[in-house]
């Protein structure tokens, strides 16, 4: 990854000519005085994998997740005017706005996620006249590894450090999610923020969105590889498809609970869905069945990880993908083909799609000696589907932090 601190200082001509040995400026508080030296703070936030639980209850999901060693870094420094500058050296792009016109703009694309973090601290009463931002990263884009959430988190953690804001990780996640909803008029997955903030090396997290509880589980896969395989399938119209599935879940809850307020799909078990065959439309029943089964799979998988039962865990993961394919219906032939090749490879402990579906990527957990054979089994992919897939080897990683 690029040396973002040096790039940031050169881009904004900060401390470039400071004599060697001269101390850096002090940190700033809630107000930037005219005589303050402009300090640079750099923060890093990881990407993540939801190993199980993705596409569960949209209001109270249960996830088995972990951060990965691909990340976004954001450097921030205060300005003495009201201008907001954004620079992405990976893309060779610059964006700019002012405090007075700080709002969502479609053409600002990636910079909008940084604006979310800015709005959070502005709403909390922190005052700055302007800010410089530089962003770089190596999280694969648009494949379900939470690169946009990582950008929001890295920006928020950098600003928290710059402004010396006293705010715990869960509070930061909750407030960032609330601002994201107001800014984009779409609720984010708060579990993404919690993974990005609370993850630790070689740990899985079981995250309950209903109460924001996080349970840490030591990974039994320390001698295994985690391989991300990007299908390279163009993803078009995904939001519309996902909305229909959320509506199906809402209809199922309404019927099963007989209109009881505050009910959740998690209030029911698979037998409830099976017994409702005459009450629920078949499509709604199938999709609801996957969600209630997935909730149980997350709980079961957490226990299997604690016992280091890799075979049992592998079966759950493959069953989860089958549910996404056959019941929830958000997979695609390319993704199914990749999961099947992983299932056929000796030494693989589960594979499943990641992200919103209809393309994106899969993950596969495997013994070191299985990697070469798995990659060989993918050789026919381009000939069959016409897309040149990409694989990434990742490790479980720690959460967001200030690095400079």
Paired strand residues for 85: 96, 132
Short-list 47, 52, 49, 66, CA closest to 314: 52
Contact 2, 136 (CB under 8 A): yes
The pLDDT score that the predictor gives to residue 25 is 41
Q: 54 with 353: CB under 8 angstroms?
A: no
Q: What is the pLDDT along the chain (404 residues), one digit of tens a residue?
A: 789 999 999 999 886 554 444 344 433 334 444 334 568 999 999 999 999 999 877 777 999 999 999 999 999 999 989 999 999 999 999 999 999 889 999 999 999 999 999 999 999 999 878 999 999 999 998 899 999 999 999 999 999 999 999 999 999 999 999 999 999 999 999 999 999 999 999 999 999 999 999 999 999 999 999 999 999 999 888 889 999 999 999 999 999 988 788 888 888 888 888 888 778 999 999 999 999 999 999 999 999 999 999 999 999 999 999 999 999 999 999 999 999 999 999 999 999 999 999 999 999 999 999 999 999 999 999 999 999 999 999 999 999 999 98
- 382: number of CA atoms within 13 Å, CB side? 6
Q: One of 57, 192, 230, 248 is an active-site residue; which one?
A: 192
117 closest CA partner among 167, 54, 79: 167
Nearest CA to 95 out of 130, 133, 122 is that of 133
Write out the two tokens for 84: 């907001």
Question: Which tokens hold the place of 33?
Answer: 């005085």
Distance between CA atoms of residues 199 and 173, nearest Å: 13
Please report the pLDDT score of residue 275 as a whole number: 85
13 burial via Cβ count (<10 Å: 0-12, 13-18, 19+): exposed
Strand partners, 352: 363
Both tokens of residue 384? Answer: 């069959």
DSSP 49-104: EEEE-TTS-SSS-EEEEEEEEEEEEEEEEE-SSSEEEEEETTTTEEEEEEGGG-S-
Q: Please answer whether residues 228 and 139 qualify as being in contact, where contact means their C-beta atoms are separated by less than 8 angstroms.
A: no
The pairing of beta strand 131-137 with beta strand 83-88: parallel
Phi-psi region of 26 (alpha: psi -120 to 50; beta: other; left: phi over 0): beta
CATH of 4-218, one of 3.30.230.10, 1.10.260.40, 3.40.1010.10, 3.30.2350.10: 3.30.230.10
User: Can you tell me the distance from the alpha carbon of 34 to that of 5, in angstroms, rounded to the nearest whole number?
Assistant: 23
Per-residue pLDDT, 173:
97
What are the structural domain ranges in the chain?
Answer: 4-218, 224-394
Element (H, E) at 241: helix 238-256
CA distance 215 to 204: 8
Which CATH architecture describes the domain 224-394?
A: 2-Layer Sandwich (3.30)
Is 192 marked active-site?
Answer: yes
Assign 313 to helix, strand or coil. Answer: helix
Closest to 399 measured CA to CA, from 42, 109, 67? 67
Cα separation of 202 and 66, whole Å?
8
- pLDDT attached to residue 36: 46
């Amino acid at each position: 990854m690029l040396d973002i601190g040096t790039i940031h200082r050169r881009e904004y001509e900060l401390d470039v000519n400071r004599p060697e040995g001269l101390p850096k400026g002090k940190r700033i508080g809630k107000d930037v005085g005219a005589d303050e030296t402009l300090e640079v703070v750099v923060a890093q936030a990881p990407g993540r994998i939801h190993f199980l639980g993705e596409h569960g209850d949209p209001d109270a999901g249960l996830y088995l997740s972990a951060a990965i060693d691909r990340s976004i870094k954001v450097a921030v420094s205060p300005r003495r005017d009201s201008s907001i500058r954004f620079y992405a050296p990976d893309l060779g792009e610059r964006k700019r706005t002012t405090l007075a016109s700080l709002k969502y703009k479609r053409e600002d694309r990636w910079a909008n996620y940084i604006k979310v973090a800015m709005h959070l601290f502005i709403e909390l009463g922190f005052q700055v006249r302007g800010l410089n931002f530089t962003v770089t990263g190596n999280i694969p884009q648009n494949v379900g590894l939470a690169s946009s959430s990582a950008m929001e988190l890295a920006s928020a953690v950098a600003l928290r450090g710059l402004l010396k804001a006293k705010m715990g990780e869960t509070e930061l996640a909750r407030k960032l999610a609330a601002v994201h909803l107001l800014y984009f008029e779409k609720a984010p997955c708060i579990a993404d923020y919690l993974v990005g903030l609370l993850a630790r090396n070689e740990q899985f997290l079981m995250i309950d969105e209903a109460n924001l509880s996080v349970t840490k589980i030591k990974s039994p896969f320390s001698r295994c590889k985690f391989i991300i395989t990007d299908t390279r399938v163009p993803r078009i119209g995904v939001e519309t498809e996902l909305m229909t599935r959320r509506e199906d879940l809402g209809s199922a809850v309404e019927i099963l609970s007989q209109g009881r307020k505050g009910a959740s799909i998690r209030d029911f078990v698979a037998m409830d869905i099976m017994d409702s065959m005459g009450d629920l439309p078949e499509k709604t029943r199938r999709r609801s069945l996957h969600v209630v089964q997935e909730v149980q799979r997350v709980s079961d998988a957490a226990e299997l990880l604690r016992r280091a039962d890799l075979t049992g865990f592998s079966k759950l993961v493959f069953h989860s993908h089958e549910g996404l394919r056959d019941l929830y219906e958000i997979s695609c032939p390319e993704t199914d083909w990749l999961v099947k090749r992983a299932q056929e490879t000796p030494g693989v402990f589960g594979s499943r799609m990641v992200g919103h579906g209809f393309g994106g990527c899969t993950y596969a957990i495997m013994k070191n000696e299985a990697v070469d054979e798995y990659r060989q089994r993918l050789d026919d992919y381009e000939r069959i589907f016409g897309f040149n897939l990409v694989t990434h080897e990742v490790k479980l990683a720690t959460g967001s932090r200030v690095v400079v």
